[in-house]
Structures are given as C-alpha cells and as structure tokens.
Amino acid sequence: MVDGVRVHKVSRRTDGELDLAVPPRTPPALAALRAAQWAVSDAQAALFLVAPVQQRLVTGAQLRTAREQYLGRRRRALVDTLLADIVDGAQSLGELDFAAMCRARRMPVPERQVVRQGPKGRVYLDVRWRCGLVVEVDGRQHVEGVAPVADMLRQNSVSLTRDMVLRIPLLGLRLEADAFLDQVEQGLAVLAARAS
C-alpha cells in the first residue's frame, strides 16, 4: 500500500476496456467517470469530470460515449447534469456552477466556448447568449501576471462588435452570486429591449 493512494475495485469492465494499450489501462473518459463515482464530494466529482476536458485529455463527446457504457452506482443524476454542461462547452468548475445557477433562475440556455477572432487570433468566450450578452467567469489565473492585459484586449475586441461583456470573478460567484446573477438578468433584459 502506498501512502495517499486508495485502491478501488472495479466490479465490471466495459467491452474492450483493456484493449486500448500495453500495459492494459482504462481509457481516460471512463477513468474520469469512475473517479466521479468514487469522489468524496459532489464538488470533487465535478472536478474529476471537468479537469480532463480542460486539460484536453478527453472531449465532452468522449465522456458522453463512455457514459453510455458505464452508469455507475452513485451520483447518476449529478453526473448526467455535469456531462450535459461539459458537452455543451463548460470547461471549469466556475462555468459549471454558473450554468447551474442560471438554470435555477430559469434563464435562457446560452452558447458556451463561442469562438471569436481577437486581436491576436482566436478567443473563446465562456458564455454567450444570442442577444449579444457575454459572461466571462474568471478564475485566479485571470489576475496573475499579464493575464489581465490579454483579458482586457479580448473584452474590448468583443465589446467593439456590439456585444455586452460582463465579468464575474470566481470569488464573486461564491460570495455575491445573487448580485452578479441579477446583473446577468439585467443585461439580458436591456439587450432584449434594444432588439424590440
């Protein structure tokens, strides 16, 4: 036994699971699903599903395909909800939390990871509604080093296309969720009024 390592017994393998490589190993998408089942909390389960997508080890589609073969015993509804958001483009815990909060308020479903041309090539917008409201959920990496410069250039570029950009720091989502979500609803209302 190795300190800090917990061994989990796999009671049922999926078809062809160990045919992938030598030595035999579980495909990353299936490993992520199993990790979500074995997680100590729902938050950790979400992390185990979104991290490999964010790190480009798997795609949301690969997770969905693996889910068709492996339902697991725990957190079935949570995993299905998380996978729907991940397949739809959420790539961080903050984006997953934001999606759940928007659903709870019955906001329209936005597009995620929308690709735009920025000053230095392609940029990905976290969330965008068709009316032109963009929401960026900013984790800690957005305040380190020169990241704020790149973020402001991206935001200005998007704003110059007539979209409205709202930024929500992850800490703000944790501490003042209602205030930020009120602003999102206000932005949606303002843009709807402009369109009519």
* Sign of the dihedral through C-alpha 92, 94, 97, 99: negative
Residue with tokens 């308020």: 105
Output the pLDDT for position 107: 95
CA distance 1 to 4: 9
Among the ranges given (9-23, 73-87, 105-119), the one the predictor scored with the smallest mean pLDDT: 9-23
* pTM of the predicted model as reported, rounded to 2 decimal places: 0.60
pLDDT bin (cut points 50, 70, 90) of residue 188 is very high
3-class secondary structure, 143: helix
164-169 and 133-138 as β-strands: parallel, antiparallel, unpaired?
Answer: parallel
Q: What average pLDDT does the structure give for the chain? A: 83
Cis-peptide, bond into residue 23, ω within 30° of zero = yes
115: Cα separation from own chain's centroid: 15
- Give the residue ranges of DSSP H helices in 39-130: 42-54, 60-69, 76-87, 93-104
Phi, psi angle pair for 43, to nearest 5°: -65, -40
Give the tens place of pLDDT for each residue, 32-60: 998 898 888 888 888 899 888 888 899 88
Output the pLDDT for position 183: 96
Say whether pLDDT at 142 is over 80. Answer: no
